[in-house]
Structure 1
């Protein structure tokens, strides 16, 4: 978003509401999701980089929030987006309850390689998901870069028997993804490799495509700078895409839905990871964007004043986020 198009900082701050919403289950180590949501001219928008990200990494998230909140968006090609269930690194006996929060979803993404857990834990969790979805369901795993190459090859060799749709970011670097992809191919293991962090955290998000490191790209609108910039990256990469989210409120999910709705048919690679409001124990919209019969309508929900008040962050956290917003605004 060019600087000339930025709304004034005082207008941005006036539109901002800082919220803290508990998660239903521990997710990426998080039990409370903090976010800034904007009551903006074009509709609700969101700025929610994770706490540990520095200002430079957070800048594209704010650029995305301002673009989505203050500028018209690309036309939608579809009215609903199929979504997958997201299963955190829970015990196998908790899987059924998690999947119940995603009614109608025939695809599930399962978190694996959680720190402090074992491959046996991952296998038990994936097995429980496969049993719950049945043979026709699609099962994906997401390691968030948690394995080295040898660990990834060992794990995917054992997990391949569950008929994986793909393995997301099994290892951290582009070169490691290349190595994993080559080695499982040599073993005849038919598991596609998807890249997430290697796209959204990279200075050059197209490097993963040029290196032949992945079969599928996972794209997220906020960290890539907004819907338009994400579309440009997707077109440049030429690989099939799944649009995902970062444990957003409905305001942020609406941005992801807009991105998924704008993708050409030949680039949208199935169910998207946009159902994660179901993992929050609350939301900022009275009518939240959660799965209905396995999909979510493409719409922008209105912020609910009573919910903004209920989930308003503590005063010190409001100050922290406003300071962060001001610093980050200076970088875009």
Structure 2
């Protein structure tokens, strides 16, 4: 099996409502659909979600680096030779979501070639992964209503709360309202997207001490080297590295230097291969991991459940997989279902991310 050619298709789908957070807002998603074609007729697929405000990638840059740089490593290659391919990709720094997408597409080909779900090839630990829903900036009552609706409709009992507003009392009041409405059994955690400084983040930790929060993700910029590490030392709950740890090397740096003591893994930026390395690193050190969300479509959420449910350590906490419900539509051919607060891993060969061709034609923006 050899890769003969590739496709990079940009597309845009509007959000039902903007998803707002400390580092930006998303009014529509602009992603790249990657397809790797082989000489035996198989096609490996991945959804690539560039986030300019987080990683500096754009739709244009993803297409350019894959078509003009990565293509040399891909065309003519056997998808089973993943290590050889990755050694060539890593000569180019950055471009995390482009690299992650290539890896997922390679695994999709391998799963199809062996007529086996990639979830099973990776480990097959659990058949499903519990869902955590991300709550963006909105008036307090609107956020509470959204959370209650997700609990009632989908059985979701875990929520990542986007914070980072000023004054900090706005978010303290929001978190208190959510805890009161959802009760003591809901799993709640914060994500400030680097929106505060360490002093403000410490104030929030003190003010929410009685609200039983589980994690605090990116409370301030990890580049604030001294104050970030002081905050980690004093925090009563784990500080999660997300955008400060977009790959294995950065994750190790943040943990080893005290910039965090838990990690977010996003298959959109580290695929399955590098995600497994990060997971093994975290497990060896006894660190908690969260399966994160890149404001993923259903195609992206399938990758998350495929990986997250494959291992015991990555399935301990709910994965962030429901923000596709904030989107007006999706490219997926077989829509995902959230039932009893869980999404099941695909049981078809490959990753299970087949695309509705009519929808792709409708939403693509290169024609």
**TM-score over 0.5 (shorter chain):** yes
Shift of 1:39: 4.8
SS in 2 for 1:257: helix
Contact preservation (8 Å) 2:11, 2:30: yes
* 1:108–1:139 contact (8 Å) kept in structure 2: yes
1:291 aligned onto 2:348? no
Q: Distance in 1 between matches of 2:241 and 2:337?
A: 25
Q: 1:153 to 1:6 in 2, by over 3 A?
A: farther
In the superposition, the TM-score normalised over structure 2's length comes to 0.74
Aligned mates of 1:201, 1:63 — CA distance in 2: 10
Alpha-carbon distance change, 30 to 141 in structure 1, aligned in 2, over 3 angstroms:
same
Contact preservation (8 Å) 2:131, 2:318? yes
User: Which deviates the most, 301-310 or 35-44?
Assistant: 35-44
Residue number in structure 1 paired with 2:113: none
Q: CA deviation at 1:215?
A: 3.1
Alignment partner of 1:20 is 2:12: yes
Match runs of 1:1-332 below 5 Å: 7=3, 11-13=5-7, 16-27=8-19, 28-40=24-36, 41=42, 43-52=44-53, 53-54=56-57, 55=61, 59-71=95-107, 72=110, 73=118, 74-99=122-147, 100-101=149-150, 103-114=154-165, 117-173=166-222, 175=225, 176-184=227-235, 190-200=236-246, 204-224=250-270, 226-237=271-282, 238=285, 239-263=287-311, 265-266=312-313, 268-299=315-346, 300-313=352-365, 318=366
Structure 1 residue 151 displacement after superposition: 1.0
- How many residues end up aligned between the 2 structures? 298
> How much does 1:125 deviate?
2.1
Q: Is the 8 A contact 1:277 1:289 kept in 2?
A: no
- Preserved contact between residue 37 and residue 251 of structure 1 (Cα < 8 Å): no
Q: Which runs of 5+ in 2 are unaligned?
A: 37-41, 62-91, 111-117, 347-351
When normalised by structure 1's length, the TM-score is: 0.81
Residues in 2 aligned to 1:194 and 1:31: alpha-carbon distance in whole angstroms: 26
Q: Is the 8 A contact 1:276 1:290 kept in 2?
A: no
Consecutive unaligned residues in structure 1, runs of 5 or more: 185-189, 320-332
RMSD, aligned CA: 2.5
Q: Give the corresponding residue for 1:322.
A: none
Task: Decide whether aligned partners of structure 1 residues 267 and 255 sit closer, same or farther in structure 2, where only a CA change above 3 A counts.
Answer: closer
Partners of 1:166 and 1:205 lie apart in 2 by 17
Aligned in 2, Cα 1:58/1:22: closer, same or farther, shift over 3 Å?
farther
